[in-house]
Amino acid sequence: MNRALLRSKAIVKNYTSKHVSEHVPQEIFFCPEESLFYSQCLERMVLNTCEDCNSIVEFGAGDGSPVINSLLKSQFNGLIQGYELNSKSCEVAQFWIDRYKLSHKYVVHNSCFFQRDWQSAGNYLISNPPYLPAINHDLYMPALHGGIDGASITKQLMGMDCQSAMLMISAYSDPVGTIEYAIAQGYQVEDFMTSPMTFGYYSSEPKVRQRITDLHKYGKAFYSENIYVLAGVLFKKHSSKPDLSAELIKIMMAL
């Protein structure tokens, strides 16, 4: 196993032992499996393949571990600017950025992503946006609320007209409607990765599971008793590659 991979795994291990006991779940999002998958999507579809993307913006940086993991395993030399409202998450992110001397590649701002002047923003957006569906945001962790169908913030990000966007999409949060919305905004699916995920602490909250059940009745949520599919999707405008939207929809609806 190479040294960079050992370092990236150490982030999750050290975070687990040093920080989970110090912060209740409502304060910092913690799901190692999902964070690792997001990191893998970033590494394969963005950092190791993107051209002319020296400046990338990230909505919802969280504790920074997904981007840090992917930076440790890639040759990316540009700058990623993350935006995170949770000050405790920002503190953890800054600790690891300093620890691995990545401040020239990754900056996390403790400010609102949507309040920035995006006229001067880069054309590349990355995010694992909130996608928990619920009637309201009175949840274990309100920041994970993605609207009544779980896709509201994802669609808001797509409406920002970035040329490229790598976003995580859940099969229980109206994936078909989300992909169709992206197409209507001029995007096509250039690439994607999928992974089965078990229902965890946040998605198993009763009011969230009830809303997922309701969405299933309307053909907007797809899952089995224990797992759902999470996809990292690279949306692009003016792409010369085949559009994989139809293939992605079939996979998201498979369960």
The CA-atom distances, in angstroms, between 209 and each of 144, 199, 214, 215, 223 are 14, 9, 9, 10, 11
pLDDT of residue 167: 98
Is the pLDDT at 237 greater than 80? The verdict is: yes
The predicted pLDDT at position 19 comes to 37
Average pLDDT score, the chain? 89
What integer pLDDT is reported at residue 122 of this predicted model?
Answer: 56
Smallest Cα–Cα separation from 62: which of 113, 9, 21? 113
Least confident of 3-7, 63-67, 152-156, 250-254: 3-7
Distance CA 34, CA 144 (A): 13
CB count, 10 Å around CB of 87? 9
Tokens of 55: 């400046």
Distances 36 to 64, 66, 76, 136 between C-alpha atoms, Å: 11, 6, 18, 28
The letter for the amino acid at 158 is: M
Say which amino acid occupies 1.
M
Q: Per residue in 15-58, pLDDT tens?
A: 433 333 343 334 788 899 999 999 999 999 999 988 767 789 99
CATH number of 3-252: 3.40.50.150
* pLDDT for the residue numbered 161: 83
Q: What is the DSSP letter of 122?
A: -
- The stretch 124-136 carries a mean pLDDT of 97
Place of tokens 């994802």: 154
| Least confident stretch, 61-70, 75-84, 118-127, 158-167 | 118-127
C-alpha span between 102 and 207 (Å, rounded): 39
Query: 215 pLDDT exceeds 80?
Result: yes
* 34 vs 110: CA distance, rounded Å: 22
Where are the domains positioned within the chain? 3-252
pTM over 0.75: yes
Residue 244: what pLDDT? Answer: 98
